[in-house]
């Protein structure tokens, strides 16, 4: 590939730029802040997000969409979920209609609760029908930037698009598997953040392995219920984009959502925790979006419901745990 663009230079976008740079002659990285772009181009570091990892010499940072997207055959979109619609709208005049767009963002759009592929399709379809794929799976940005192996899923309704992305981007340190279920992949990627907050609450309360194993198992069950009700496939949630990402986010110390849950268990208010974070914890907004989606399709999500009450300060973590344990017994 001659030119690959990555749009979004937070920790995940920067990590992807580092990992994917060997797959292309030129990698263009769109950065919102001029200072960060200049530092990347001069010092080969993103000092704001991943200062410990050198950025390859064939990566060039831009703050303008026209320059960043010029000649890009493939565009990886990696902003926070709340910024996706605005970003694609601004970039649209310079996106090639024949370019493959790859959504690498995990989360649901606030208010509409749309998946990122739905947001991208809605915006771009005013100009062209996008060739679109979704990239997801268990992947902490720091470990990807460090070159540690990671197995991911590239999902698309168009098998040719999925294979093209797989062939173009797969290879050490990333191994990509194709999938034809973007609904299941995106919902698994989003909803696992809610369960990760609950996992953090368990850790913050000093609970051991038994409750954590139960949480992951029952969390996967309610994620799967909602994903299937929304059109996803159950086998997708048993794979990398479901179980794999869930285990990583619930157990890994680098998980922002898990760390947020730990702080909640220590008695800190949500606003106080968020004010102290430099990066987005997608699970907060996703919790409330998931509940509304579940209600719309008649699916029960007890862990998510309890986390919503804890996040709103209407229930203590201890009371939420007690409520879950005292629910009416039922078959698995």
Task: Tell me which residues are annotated as active site.
Answer: 192
Q: CB–CB of 115/183 below 8 Å?
A: yes
Q: What is the three-class DSSP state of 73? A: coil
What sign has the CA pseudo-torsion 28, 31, 34, 39? negative
CB 100 within 8 A of CB 154: no
> Coil, strand or helix: which one is 27?
strand
Q: Residue 218 has which token pair?
A: 């029952």
**DSSP assignments along 206-228, one per residue:** T--HHHHHHHHHHHHHHHHHHHH
Helices 302-311 & 209-229, crossing angle to 10 degrees? 110
Q: Which residues contact 177 (CB under 8 A, 6 or more apart)?
A: 151, 152, 153, 154, 166, 239, 240
For residues 25 and 81, is the Cβ–Cβ distance under 8 A?
Answer: no
Q: How far apart are CA 139 and CA 255, in angstroms?
A: 10
**10 Å Cβ neighbour count for 217?**
12
Query: CA–CA separation, 173 vs 148, rounded Å?
Result: 6
């Amino acid at each position: 590939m001659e030119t690959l663009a990555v749009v979004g230079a937070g920790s995940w976008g920067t990590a992807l730029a580092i990992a994917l740079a060997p797959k292309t002659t030129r990698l263009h990285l769109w950065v919102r802040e001029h200072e960060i772009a200049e530092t990347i181009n001069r010092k080969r570091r993103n000092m704001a997000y991943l200062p410990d990892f050198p950025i390859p010499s064939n990566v060039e940072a831009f703050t303008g969409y026209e320059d960043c997207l010029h000649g890009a055959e493939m565009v990886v979109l990696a902003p926070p979920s709340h910024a996706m619609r605005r970003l694609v709208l601004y970039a649209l005049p310079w996106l090639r209609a024949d370019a493959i767009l790859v959504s690498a963002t995990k989360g649901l759009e606030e208010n509409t609760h749309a998946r990122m592929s739905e947001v991208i399709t809605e915006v771009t379809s005013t100009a062209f029908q996008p060739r679109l794929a979704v990239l997801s799976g268990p992947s902490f940005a720091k470990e990807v930037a460090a070159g540690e192996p990671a197995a991911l899923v590239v999902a698309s309704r168009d098998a040719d698009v999925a294979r093209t992305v797989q062939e173009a981007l797969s290879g050490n340190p990333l191994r990509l598997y194709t999938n034809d279920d973007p609904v299941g992949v995106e919902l698994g990627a989003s909803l696992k953040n809610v369960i990760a907050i609950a996992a953090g609450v368990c850790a913050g309360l000093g609970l051991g392995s038994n409750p954590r194993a139960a949480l992951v198992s029952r969390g996967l069950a309610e994620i799967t219920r909602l994903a299937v009700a929304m059109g996803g496939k159950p086998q997708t949630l048993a794979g990398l984009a479901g179980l794999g990402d869930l285990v990583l986010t619930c157990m890994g110390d680098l998980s922002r959502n898990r760390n947020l849950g730990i702080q909640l268990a220590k008695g800190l208010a949500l606003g106080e925790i968020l004010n102290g974070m430099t990066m987005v914890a997608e699970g907060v907004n996703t919790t409330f979006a998931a509940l509304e989606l579940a209600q719309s399709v008649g699916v029960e999500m007890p862990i998510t419901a309890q986390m919503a009450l804890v996040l709103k300060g209407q229930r203590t973590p201890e009371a939420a745990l007690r409520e879950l344990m005292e629910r009416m017994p039922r078959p698995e």
